[in-house]
A and B are shown apart, each in its own frame.
Chain A
């Protein structure tokens, strides 16, 4: 099983729709979780961290399910500008320092 797995998509949704992505991770000891966003031919940028209790930032909500080892990203009221690839990122170690492990990303296309 790969360390971090995502559905590559693309997810095609109309403006205003609600869309959700899941990401599964293999290392049950993983402690830190993030969603990064990458626009076409640009660098990845941190979208939000994912906390155990879940967190919300405007139209974006991130959830963590440790029992099933997945994290999710929910986008409400999709905008054209939300079109991008969303990368799931996990720190696999449970102590000390560990480099980030990136998923391959899920592509979202929002159409008018």
Chain B
């Protein structure tokens, strides 16, 4: 059981280049997330998905696109990288638990992708 995996682990891009970050989970989780983490800013949600074929914007979605074509994979795309997108990117997955009208979850994170945009 690999849990949540991310590829690549590290990447250097030039401004204007594009790339796709891949997240894969083998826990059959419905929900998946992409975060970025910057010094002094904490974890910020970029996009998320509550099921195959669905995506939604998080707190900082501009400059990113996502796709969830398969339940186990969640792709994060940067169409034209900018230095402001230099960050550590974490993917996470979770399963929802319900009690009455409340839904909560435990998120499992991947090891992260360190991206440097020059």
Residue positions of A touching B, CB distance < 8 A: 31-32, 34, 41-46, 49, 87, 91, 94-100, 102-105
B67 at interface, CB cutoff 8 A? no
B25 to nearest A CB, angstroms? 13
User: Which residue, of B42, B101, B102, has the highest number of chain A Cβ atoms within 10 A?
Assistant: B42
Query: Interface stretch among B11-19, B74-82, B106-114?
Result: B106-114
A32 CB contacts on chain B under 8 angstroms: 102, 104
User: What are 17 residue pairs bridging A and B, where the CB atoms are less than 8 Å apart in the complex?
Assistant: A31-B102, A32-B104, A41-B112, A43-B109, A43-B110, A44-B90, A44-B107, A44-B109, A45-B109, A87-B42, A94-B102, A96-B101, A97-B103, A99-B45, A103-B42, A104-B42, A105-B42
A34 CB contacts on chain B under 8 angstroms: 106
B90 CB contacts on chain A under 8 angstroms: 43-44
A94 CB contacts on chain B under 8 angstroms: 102
A11 to nearest B CB, angstroms? 17
How many of chain B's residues have a CB under 8 angstroms from any CB in A? 22
B43 CB contacts on chain A under 8 angstroms: 44, 87, 102
- Judge whether A97 and B110 touch: CB under 8 Å: no
Q: Which chain B residue shows the least CB distance to A91?
A: B104
Top-5 shortest CB links A-B = A104-B42, A43-B109, A32-B104, A102-B43, A95-B101
Bitwise, B77-118 to A at CB < 8 A (1) or not (0) is: 000000000000010000010000111111101111000000
Q: Given that A102-B42, A104-B40 are contacting pairs, would A43 and B112 also be in contact in the complex, using a CB cutoff of 8 Å? A: yes
A47 to nearest B CB, angstroms? 11
* Distance of A45 Cα from B96 Cα, bound (Å): 17
B61 at interface, CB cutoff 8 A? no
